[in-house]
Structure formats: C-alpha cells, structure tokens
C-alpha cells in the first residue's frame, strides 16, 4: 500500500531548502509519495495569474515555477511519488474571492463553492488543471479535491438545471466531476485521478454505478477521528465496490481544532489505528491502494494557521511507523520527540512548546484569582488598591512579558528559515502579539498601582 504524506501549502508554504530536509526524513520514515496541495502558492499563469504566486497573492513569495520544478524533482529524486492537488468545485476561496471570478460563485456571499453549471466554471478549472499538468509531464497521479461542497443548487442556473435533471442537485455535482475526469483522461489516459469522497457518500449505489464514475476516479475516503469516534461503515464500502481502487485518508496534523499549536501524537495515532482496523476488516470488499496521511495547515482558506509542520513531525513519524508495523504495540511506535538530527525545524518546535506553556501561565495570571481579587476592573476604575498586593502581579507579569518577547524574537528568526514573511507574520501576530499586548497592559497597570499609596476610599 502507498503511504502518501499530504503537504498543505495553503498556510506556511515551506521554503524549498527546508522542504528538502522534510522530504529526506519522510523518505527514511517509509513514505512512498507526497500530495502537494498548492492552493494559492502555485504560479498559475495567464488569466489565472492573479490567483497564485505570480502576483504574490499569498504574501509569502512562494512558489516560482522554478521552485515548483525543484520540489517535484526533489520528491522524485528521493524515490517518492509526487501527486498534485487542485481543487475543482469546493474550497475555491482562493479563486472566487477575486472580483474577476465572483460571478462564478454558487452562493454570492461565499467564495467557497464554484457554480458547476456556468460554462466559464468548467473553463476555469480546466485551465487550472492544465497549468498543473504542464508543470508535471510525467504525472502518474492527480488529485481533484472536490470535498466539502457546502452550497449546491443555489444560483438560478443550477436550480433550473437541477429541476430537470434525473438526480436533481446530485446530477450537477456528478456531471461537473465527470466532465473534469473525462478531460483528464483525454490529456493523460494512463494517469490515476483521485478525489476526496465525502460528496459521494450520500449518493446511492445505483446512481454511482450508472454514472460510470468508477472507471474514471479513485475515491479517497477520509476520516480523521480518534478510534472512539471513528466510523466509516459497511454500506459505504458496499457502494464503493463500483471503484476498482480506493484510498484511505487519515491525519497527522491539523485535525484537532482549528487554532491548535501542538499535535498530540497519541490522538493522531489513534486515528491511524482505527484506519488500519477498518482497512483490515474490509480488505475483501475494497481494494485499498494506499493511505494519505493528511497534514492540514488551515481548516479553510480564511482560517488561521493551525499546527506548524516542525511541531508535527514526531506525529508524522509515529503515524507512518504504525502503517509499516501495524502489529507492533502502539506505545512502542508513539514518539513525542525525535532525535535532533532527524527533526527538521527543531528550534521552531521547541519555541512553540515553550510558548504554549508560557501562554498557560499568562492566562492563569490574566484570568486568575490575584487579578480578580486585588486588581479587578472595578478596583482599577475606582482607584481602590493596595500596592503590596499588586506588587506580586507586576513581578509575575514582567517575567512573563520578558519571556514572551524573547520567544517572539526567537520565533521570528526561526520561522524565516521554514516559511515566508506573511505566514511568519500571521503566526506571530495571531499567537504571540495579542498575548504580549494583554500582559503588557496588565504589567503597566500593576506597576503603576504598586508605586501608589494604599487607597483611602473608592472614587465613586
Ligand atoms: Zn450554479
């Protein structure tokens, strides 16, 4: 079975030099390929140049076509299979947010979903796919995304078409996907095309079978839950018997909360373990080609960054290990840390761990008993405080503040080795700066109050 590692560049695209170290690690750890989710980091050209890196829409100055080639080459040179992913109906925010493509939104207020009925839509995604295919003439695999199509048959064109279609709104989705799959087959007859499966789950067996989609695409069944909440079910595998090949997708990062900083290894291992059981239990019903270990950088285009890759490498290593040694004990395969020489971006990971501990201390101070008891908003507003009591608050705030500022400098420097200026700025601006501001304001207040005489009466 293939073991494909998903790299989600929509958020903290990796600098090529750093990526090369990661690729070397995952080769050693037993991956067989890499799924590249470019999103707005691909150098789309011509009429598409506004959506990608040519006009630096992502702010990270990544990637140039030279860098794309270097990445594809680096993957191949390590014996890994590169698979490009281009979204083709859902998660099209990076395209449909642009005024030039606004008219192709299914729901006018949301840039997430492409209208599958308007002729320009098909033209648009075909051009995107063509750009990606041109970059990889020897592609053996391609992934068309197609997950989480949140709005269906909203626009007038779609409503009209759905009303006269055999399977109503389902037909719109299936027709769009089939058009793309046929286009891909004509371009590259031998290429294997993959898609996320969630939009297929509610479609009955007869409809799926009649659509002939089974001959054109390999569904990637994703489930990122821990074992206690993991359920895929027999009916899905019975329906998916129309597909000669199926894939599983688990997660090693970015599936544990939309603004998490750390990747709990045991949580992601539990998901792998559940998948291994599912694959073993259904081996006679489905022909599993491989597993894609997804590593999400954001929950969607507008969501903030979640776990950074350097932090998640122990989880990735452990998750790959369990697929290679499914019969070993889970505790022997779970590694919270890696040897220093195998941990690319170790300094970032260390600093993030320190920050999480410091953030806990800061929140305990900001929302803790000492502030609520001796320096709460009423007391501050009415000037009714005692310096001895707030002196301790000032001291603790000062210590936390100095440590936060030190980590801010350290992370600014270290993030610049692994990602671009926008992602580094965003991560620090989202995770450190607001905390620095709050602790700093508390420190100023406490330090000032600590120099005053004990108040005589509240100023009412
Ligand atoms: Zn529509």
Q: Are residues 147 and 295 in the same domain?
A: yes
Domain boundary among 337, 368, 400: 337
The Cα–Cα gap between 260 and 150 comes to 24
Cβ proximity of 382 and 458 under 8 Å: yes
What is the secondary structure of 171-200 as a DSSP string? Answer: HHHHHHHHHHHHHHHHH-TT-EEEEE-GGG
Q: What is the mean pLDDT of residues 69-90?
A: 98
Residue 163, token pair as written in the block: 């009303």
Collapse the DSSP code of 120 into the 3-class scheme (helix H, G, I; strand E, B; otherwise coil) and give the result: helix
Q: What is the mean pLDDT of residues 167-190?
A: 97
Ligand 1 center to 296 CA (angstroms): 28
The Cα–Cα gap between 124 and 131 comes to 11
Average pLDDT taken over every residue of the chain: 97
Q: What is the mean pLDDT of residues 365-379?
A: 97
Q: Look at the chain and report how many structural domains it folds into.
A: 2
For position 251, what pLDDT does the model report? 98
Ligand 1 center to 155 CA (angstroms): 4
Q: Are residues 318 and 359 in the same domain?
A: no
Collapse the DSSP code of 48 into the 3-class scheme (helix H, G, I; strand E, B; otherwise coil) and give the result: helix
Identify the domain containing residue 440 by its residue range: 349-450
For position 179, what pLDDT does the model report? 97
CATH assignment at residue 300: 3.20.20.80
The Cα–Cα gap between 62 and 53 comes to 6
Cβ proximity of 34 and 73 under 8 Å: no
For position 233, what pLDDT does the model report? 84
Look up 106 and say whether it is catalytic.
no
Ligand 1 center to 344 CA (angstroms): 45
Of 152-156, 194-198, 230-234, 242-246, least confident by mean pLDDT is 230-234
Ligand 1 center to 161 CA (angstroms): 9
Domain boundary among 302, 337, 372: 337
Q: Beta-carbon neighbour count of residue 344 at 10 Å?
A: 23
Q: What is the mean pLDDT of residues 191-198?
A: 98
Q: What is the percent of the chain with per-residue pLDDT over 90, rounded to a whole number?
A: 99
> With b meaning 16 or more CB within 10 Å and e meaning fewer, what string describes 408-445?
bebbeebbeebbbebbbebbbeebbeebbebbbebbeb
Residue 415, token pair as written in the block: 């993030």
Residue 426, token pair as written in the block: 């965003």
Q: Are residues 197 and 161 in the same domain?
A: yes
**Beta strands 105-107 and 110-114, pairing class:** antiparallel
Query: Which of the residues 24, 107, 148, 399 is marked catalytic?
Result: 148
DSSP-assigned letter for residue 43: -
The Cα–Cα gap between 23 and 5 comes to 10
Q: Beta-carbon neighbour count of residue 296 at 10 Å?
A: 24
Ligand 1 center to 300 CA (angstroms): 21
Ligand 1 center to 105 CA (angstroms): 7
Longest dimension (CA), the chain: 86
Within a domain: 458 = no
Element (H, E) at 226: none
Ligand 1 center to 399 CA (angstroms): 56
Within a domain: 127 = yes
Q: Are residues 18 and 166 in the same domain?
A: yes
Q: Are residues 23 and 93 in the same domain?
A: yes
CA distances from 454 to 379, 382, 451 (A): 12, 13, 9
For position 11, what pLDDT does the model report? 87
What values do phi and psi take at 344, rounded to 5? -70, 125
Q: Are residues 296 and 421 in the same domain?
A: no
Q: Are residues 145 and 283 in the same domain?
A: yes
Render pLDDT for 86-116 as a digit per residue (tens, 0 to 9).
999 999 999 999 999 999 999 999 999 999 9
Ligand 1 center to 101 CA (angstroms): 13
Q: Are residues 319 and 363 in the same domain?
A: no
Residue 409, token pair as written in the block: 């400098």
Q: What is the mean pLDDT of residues 380-390?
A: 95
Domain boundary among 337, 369, 398: 337
The Cα–Cα gap between 149 and 221 comes to 15
Render pLDDT for 255-304 as a digit per residue (tens, 0 to 9).
999 999 999 999 999 999 999 999 999 999 999 999 999 999 999 999 99
Nearest residue to 60 (alpha-carbon basis) of 419, 344, 460: 419
Render pLDDT for 118-169 as a digit per residue (tens, 0 to 9).
999 999 999 999 999 999 999 999 999 999 999 999 999 999 999 999 999 9
């Amino acid at each position: 079975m293939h073991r494909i590692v998903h790299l989600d560049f929509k958020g903290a695209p990796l600098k090529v030099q750093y990526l090369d170290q990661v690729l070397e690690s995952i080769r050693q750890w037993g991956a067989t390929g890499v799924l590249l989710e470019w999103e707005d980091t691909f150098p789309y050209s011509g009429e598409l140049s506004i959506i990608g890196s040519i006009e630096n829409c992502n702010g990270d100055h990544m990637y140039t076509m030279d860098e794309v080639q270097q990445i594809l080459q680096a993957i191949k040179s390590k014996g890994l299979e590169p698979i490009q992913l281009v979204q083709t109906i859902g998660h099209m925010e990076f395209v449909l947010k642009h005024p030039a493509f606004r008219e192709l939104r299914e729901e006018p207020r949301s840039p997430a979903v492409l209208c599958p009925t308007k002729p320009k839509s098909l033209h648009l995604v075909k051009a995107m796919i063509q750009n990606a295919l041109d970059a990889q003439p020897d592609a053996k695999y391609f992934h068309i995304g197609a997950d989480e199509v949140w709005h269906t048959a909203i626009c007038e064109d779609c409503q009209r078409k759905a009303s006269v279609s055999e399977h109503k709104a389902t037909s719109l989705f299936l027709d769009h996907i089939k058009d793309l799959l046929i286009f891909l087959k004509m371009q590259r007859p031998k290429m294997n095309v993959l898609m996320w499966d969630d939009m297929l789950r509610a479609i009955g067996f007869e409809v799926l079978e009649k659509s002939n989609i089974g001959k054109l695409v390999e569904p990637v069944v994703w489930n990122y839950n821990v074992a206690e909440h993991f359920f895929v079910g027999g009916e899905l595998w019975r329906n998916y018997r129309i597909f000669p090949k199926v894939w599983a997708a688990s997660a090693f990062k970015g599936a544990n909360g939309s603004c998490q900083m750390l990747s709990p290894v045991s949580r992601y291992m539990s998901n792998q373990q559940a998948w291994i059981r599912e694959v073993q239990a259904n081996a006679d019903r489905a022909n599993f080609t491989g597993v894609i270990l997804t590593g999400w950088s954001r929950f969607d285009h507008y969501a903030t960054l979640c776990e950074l890759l350097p932090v998640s490498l122990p989880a990735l290593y452990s998750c790959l290990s369990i697929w290679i040694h499914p019969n070993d004990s889970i505790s022997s395969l779970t590694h919270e840390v890696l040897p220093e020489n195998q941990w690319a971006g170790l300094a970032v990971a260390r600093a993030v761990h320190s920050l999480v501990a410091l953030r806990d201390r800061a929140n305990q101070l900001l929302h803790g008993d000492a502030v609520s008891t001796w320096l709460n908003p009423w007391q501050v507003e009415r000037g009714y405080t005692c310096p001895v009591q707030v002196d301790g608050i000032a001291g603790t705030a000062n210590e936390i503040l100095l440590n936060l500022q030190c980590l801010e400098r350290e992370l600014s420097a270290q993030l610049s080795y692994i990602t671009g200026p926008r992602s580094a700025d965003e991560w620090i601006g989202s995770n450190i700066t607001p905390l620095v501001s709050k602790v700093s304001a508390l420190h100023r207040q406490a330090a000032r109050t600590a120099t005053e005489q004990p108040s005589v009466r509240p100023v009412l």
